[in-house]
Chain A
Amino acid sequence: MKKQWLFLMMVSVVLLNGCMPSRSVEENAIVQIVGYDVGEEERIQGTVSIPQYGKSEDKQAASELYLTVEADSTKDVEVEIQKQSSRPISIGKLAVTLYSKELAENDLADFIDVLSRDPRLSRNMFLGVVEGSSKDLIEGGYTQDETTSKHLQGLIENNTLYNFPSTSLHDFLYAYYAQGMDSFLPLLKKHETFVELSGVGFFKRGVLVAEIPDSAIFTFKMLKENFIKGMQEIPFEGGVIMMENIGSNVDYSLSGPTDNPQFDIKVKLKAEVNEMSGIKRDASPELAKEMEEKFAEFFNKEGKELISLFKEKGVDPLGLGNFAKTRRGDFDLTQWRDNYSELEVNVKVDVEITEYGIFS
């Protein structure tokens, strides 16, 4: 008797699972990208794109539904969008969040608080600042077979393998909350038919205060982290050389007293040269030597310029303060901030050209 009851229990536990109300993917409005702009009367304008998964077999084009609403807060955007949607909104797969430059220059603090609080959001999500309107960028419709969110996600992810420093929601929040470190985000720009990663924007707390063009991204990444890919165009004797990075290593070191420290940033860069245009010389070991020196000089200059920009704007995206804090027990944040503009930072780049391609 007891065994039969047990059996009945087991069977019902398994079978009753089927009674859970379920909802298939097509019945949800899965928001994968959201963009914010400045709206009218101090409100914000939110734009989302919702992929439409049709029931037909027609898979030719990825169709999307664009919704734009005016709201008072981030959560309010969700509410307003829900009013326009025929299906329940689900934001668990949100992959890209964009802010217009106007909004970023104002202050993103409120948005950031929501981002760090909401458990539904992936920490690998990308954030970006749009030059112009994020609504236009989302509604661009760039490729036939990808949704805009997949396209932008791929764009940023792919670029972080090359010239762009690694970025994600977690990286942003890490730097945002850290002492002696400031965050940065990619700048995106919409052209007629494509989107371009046009530079890096630097934040002081939640406010966008400085930016660099895409030509300086390589140098910034080189100073920030180790990486094994990426390319940089370097002027050389009237022509240009494409330098291909095959392994860059950065090392910070701190010396001097805590109230007047000195930073040394040493970069070891291994490179490959495949293309020289406008240079009338044959490849030779001497030329390589000259190139190495020239490259190092170029990067030293670029690096110095970057650091003087950071000092001028009072931002620290490299996290030098954070580094000093881990090395010095008596680190004092206010003192550090006061001294930051006069901080001595030496950049020393060492370039080694190891490869010239398969044709001599």
Chain B
Amino acid sequence: MNKLNNSQGLKIPENYLVTPAYVFFLIHSMQVGVGILGFEKYLVEKAGFDAWVAVLIAGGILHVILWMIYRLLQNGGGDIVEIHKRIFGKYVGGFLSLLFCAYFTLLAFTVLITFIEVIKVWVFPGLHVWVFTFVLLLLVYYLVSGGFRVITGVCLISVIIGLPILLLKYFPVEAGHTMNIYPVISHSVPDILAATKNSILSFIGLEFLLIYYPFIKDPQKSKKWAHYGVFYTTMIYLISVLVTFVYYSEEQLKQVVWGTISAWKIVEFPFIERFEFVGIAMWLYVILPNICLGLWGATRIPKRVFKVKQKYMVILFCIALYFPAVLIDGRPMIDSVNNWSGQLGLYVLLYIPLLLILKTITDKVRKRT
């Protein structure tokens, strides 16, 4: 028997697995994070009010990438670490896997600092960041050390808690100008593609499938749920974009930093004057799985590469996240971190087709020998 053709690879005990339907929540909750609070601005800068087309194109591209990820993992023998090892060998493959680890950490870090910034600007200008970050990371540590199934649960909760916030979209639409979304495309194809790129930056998150794939029971059945998840995310982004387009004028939106939060301001109830407080508080649950899954993915890679205990890695990474998160300050810094992680995310997405090609070639070559 040829040992290399053995597609068994990594095997996770049954009691750590999740059912295929949960992939929907895993994919969706990881895609929706802090990006959706202010991504409209970056789209409008490139393609004006035609940017909704860009969101649809980006959604389509993501479906293709998701299909590629599944192709990659189907007989890859487990996760990205295993695939890297098989294609590039132990050392180069291990190094590439560690790059993924850095990328996942950066994602968790970006979400963390951006959300702290939101709290500082909108709710508590005098927030003691070191206390808040400490408490938040303690919670994250607790959840991540609970294992993958706990994180899946957090994802499920976050999607459910995020649902009522969608109802708030009614208020800005009511106050809005629907003629803004009259479908006349006045921007050139390069403009729309630039906006597509910008919207992909806020769509990233489905590449975590590369690392939690072995934890899915019956992975083939999860395919459709993953696609539903991406579709659902695209729809939510599309709705958000359309609502902000209706609510703001084009030039105005270019100057609004957090389009979605600013739109919550129009919501007014007799008992609460500033409804965005409620929105931001609820949003903590939406970003929690982002940080948890990010950290879990980041710590799982060293575990797989170096065979160390994940628990120690989680503690180490929490400490590593804590100090920069406390020290970083100011919009320009946070903006550039967001840009880096977005750019990196784009490269990761571009890397996936490349990896798929390489894998197909190596598989063919090995079969022949």
In the bound assembly, the distance between CA atoms of A92 and B268 in angstroms comes to 12
Segment at the B interface, from A62-70, A172-180, A211-219, A282-290: A172-180
Contact in complex: A119, B121 (CB < 8 Å): yes
A18 at interface by CB-CB < 8 Å? no
What residues of chain A lie closer than 8 Å to B268, measured between beta carbons? 122, 124
- Scoring B182, B185, B249, B274 by chain A CB atoms within 10 A of each residue's CB, the highest score goes to B249
Contact in complex: B249, A327 (CB < 8 Å): no
A232 at interface by CB-CB < 8 Å? no
Chain B, residue nearest A116 (CB): B255
User: Chain B interface secondary structure, helix, strand, loop or mixed?
Assistant: loop
In the bound assembly, the distance between CA atoms of A177 and B179 in angstroms comes to 16
Contact in complex: A174, B249 (CB < 8 Å): yes
Which residue of A122, A173, A331 is within 8 Å of B273 (Cβ)? A122
A326 touching B184 in the complex, CB below 8 Å, given contacts A122-B273, A173-B252, A177-B251:
yes
Chain A interface residue count: which class? 20 to 34
What residues of chain A lie closer than 8 Å to B255, measured between beta carbons? 116, 177
What residues of chain B lie closer than 8 Å to A116, measured between beta carbons? 255
A304 at interface by CB-CB < 8 Å? no
Contact in complex: A181, B249 (CB < 8 Å): yes
Report B220-234 residues with CB < 8 Å from chain A CB. none
In the bound assembly, the distance between CA atoms of A176 and B185 in angstroms comes to 24
Contact in complex: A92, B274 (CB < 8 Å): yes
A177 touching B182 in the complex, CB below 8 Å, given contacts A122-B265, A122-B268, A123-B266:
no
Chain B, residue nearest A252 (CB): B179
A75 at interface by CB-CB < 8 Å? no
User: Chain A interface secondary structure, helix, strand, loop or mixed?
Assistant: loop
Chain A, residue nearest B264 (CB): A123
Contact in complex: B186, A170 (CB < 8 Å): no
Contact in complex: A178, B274 (CB < 8 Å): no
What residues of chain B lie closer than 8 Å to A323, measured between beta carbons? 179
B248 at interface by CB-CB < 8 Å? yes
In the bound assembly, the distance between CA atoms of A66 and B122 in angstroms comes to 29
In the bound assembly, the distance between CA atoms of A322 and B250 in angstroms comes to 10
Contact in complex: B265, A123 (CB < 8 Å): yes
Contact in complex: A120, B250 (CB < 8 Å): no
What residues of chain B lie closer than 8 Å to A329, measured between beta carbons? 184-186
Contact in complex: B252, A177 (CB < 8 Å): yes
A328 at interface by CB-CB < 8 Å? yes
What residues of chain A lie closer than 8 Å to B343, measured between beta carbons? none
A40 at interface by CB-CB < 8 Å? no
Report B259-281 residues with CB < 8 Å from chain A CB. 262, 265-266, 268, 273-274, 276
For B39-59 the 0/1 string (1 means CB < 8 A from A) is: 000000000010000000000
Contact in complex: A119, B122 (CB < 8 Å): yes
Contact in complex: B180, A124 (CB < 8 Å): no
Report A317-334 residues with CB < 8 Å from chain B CB. 322-323, 326-331
Chain B, residue nearest A95 (CB): B273
A93 at interface by CB-CB < 8 Å? yes
Contact in complex: A174, B266 (CB < 8 Å): no
Chain A, residue nearest B172 (CB): A170
What residues of chain B lie closer than 8 Å to A168, measured between beta carbons? 175
What residues of chain A lie closer than 8 Å to B182, measured between beta carbons? 326-327
A177 touching B186 in the complex, CB below 8 Å, given contacts A123-B265, A326-B49, A326-B180:
no
How many whole Å from A311's CB to the nearest CB in chain B? Answer: 22
In the bound assembly, the distance between CA atoms of A171 and B248 in angstroms comes to 9
Which residue of A120, A122, A177 is within 8 Å of B249 (Cβ)? A177
Report A90-136 residues with CB < 8 Å from chain B CB. 92-93, 116, 119-120, 122-124
B71 at interface by CB-CB < 8 Å? no
How many whole Å from B122's CB to the nearest CB in chain A? Answer: 5
- Scoring A92, A119, A175 by chain B CB atoms within 10 A of each residue's CB, the highest score goes to A119
B177 at interface by CB-CB < 8 Å? yes
Chain B, residue nearest A319 (CB): B177
In the bound assembly, the distance between CA atoms of A122 and B264 in angstroms comes to 10
In the bound assembly, the distance between CA atoms of A260 and B190 in angstroms comes to 29
Contact in complex: A170, B175 (CB < 8 Å): yes
For B174-192 the 0/1 string (1 means CB < 8 A from A) is: 0101011010111000000
Which residue of B122, B179, B262, B274 is within 8 Å of A326 (Cβ)? B179
Chain A, residue nearest B265 (CB): A123
How many whole Å from A196's CB to the nearest CB in chain B? Answer: 27
In the bound assembly, the distance between CA atoms of A179 and B253 in angstroms comes to 12
In the bound assembly, the distance between CA atoms of A326 and B184 in angstroms comes to 7
Contact in complex: B186, A328 (CB < 8 Å): yes
A327 touching B252 in the complex, CB below 8 Å, given contacts A122-B274, A123-B265:
no
How many whole Å from B186's CB to the nearest CB in chain A? Answer: 3
What residues of chain A lie closer than 8 Å to B121, measured between beta carbons? 119
In the bound assembly, the distance between CA atoms of A173 and B185 in angstroms comes to 25
In the bound assembly, the distance between CA atoms of A119 and B118 in angstroms comes to 11
How many whole Å from A16's CB to the nearest CB in chain B? Answer: 12
A327 touching B184 in the complex, CB below 8 Å, given contacts A92-B273, A119-B122, A120-B274:
yes
Contact in complex: B274, A174 (CB < 8 Å): no
Which residue of A92, A178, A326, A328 is within 8 Å of B251 (Cβ)? A178
In the bound assembly, the distance between CA atoms of A176 and B180 in angstroms comes to 16
Contact in complex: B175, A178 (CB < 8 Å): no
How many whole Å from B311's CB to the nearest CB in chain A? Answer: 17
How many whole Å from A29's CB to the nearest CB in chain B? Answer: 16
What residues of chain B lie closer than 8 Å to A171, measured between beta carbons? 175
Contact in complex: A178, B185 (CB < 8 Å): no
In the bound assembly, the distance between CA atoms of A299 and B175 in angstroms comes to 27
In the bound assembly, the distance between CA atoms of A176 and B249 in angstroms comes to 9
How many whole Å from A266's CB to the nearest CB in chain B? Answer: 15
Contact in complex: B249, A179 (CB < 8 Å): yes
What residues of chain A lie closer than 8 Å to B250, measured between beta carbons? 178-179
Counting from the closest, the 4 A-B pairs by CB-CB distance are: A178-B249, A329-B186, A177-B252, A177-B251
Known pairs A174-B252, A326-B182; list 11 more (Cβ under 8 Å).
A119-B265, A168-B175, A170-B175, A173-B252, A177-B251, A177-B252, A178-B249, A326-B180, A327-B184, A328-B184, A329-B186
B-side residues, CB < 8 A to A, are 49, 121-122, 175, 177, 179-180, 182, 184-186, 248-252, 255, 262, 265-266, 268, 273-274, 276
Give me 13 A-to-B residue pairs in the complex whose CB atoms sit less than 8 angstroms apart, sorted by A's number: A122-B273, A123-B265, A123-B266, A168-B175, A174-B177, A174-B249, A174-B252, A178-B251, A179-B251, A323-B179, A327-B184, A328-B186, A329-B186
